[in-house]
Amino acid sequence: MYRLMPSFNPLLAELRESLAPMVRGRPKTRSVDPLVVVADWALDLSLIRDNLRKSPSERLRQLDAMHRLARGARRVSR
């Protein structure tokens, strides 16, 4: 019996492969919501949501204000 097992297992594996339904194309990927992935990483989405609610001009004003603050901090540190 033990002599037959090494030759039987490859045949059994080949049979299982041939009976399995063929699937064409790429394997299907699960669509995971990116917000769920970010929440799993324990990142806070409230700031992103707040910024997306602002208009582009408001975002630009906020960016200019942050740039002025960084420039002022650089001058003070020198």
Determine, yes or no, domain membership for 78: yes
Determine, yes or no, domain membership for 76: yes
Determine, yes or no, domain membership for 17: no
Residue scoring higher pLDDT (2 or 68) = 68
8 Å CB contact between 71 and 77: no
pTM of the full structure: 0.45
Determine, yes or no, domain membership for 5: no
8 Å CB contact between 3 and 13: no
Q: How many domains does the chain have?
A: 1
Question: pLDDT per residue over 38-67, tens digit each?
Answer: 878 877 888 888 888 999 999 999 999 999
Question: What would the two tokens of residue 78 be?
Answer: 């020198």
Residue scoring higher pLDDT (60 or 3) = 60
Determine, yes or no, domain membership for 32: no
Determine, yes or no, domain membership for 24: no
Determine, yes or no, domain membership for 22: no
8 Å CB contact between 39 and 45: yes
Q: Which domain holds residue 57?
A: 45-78
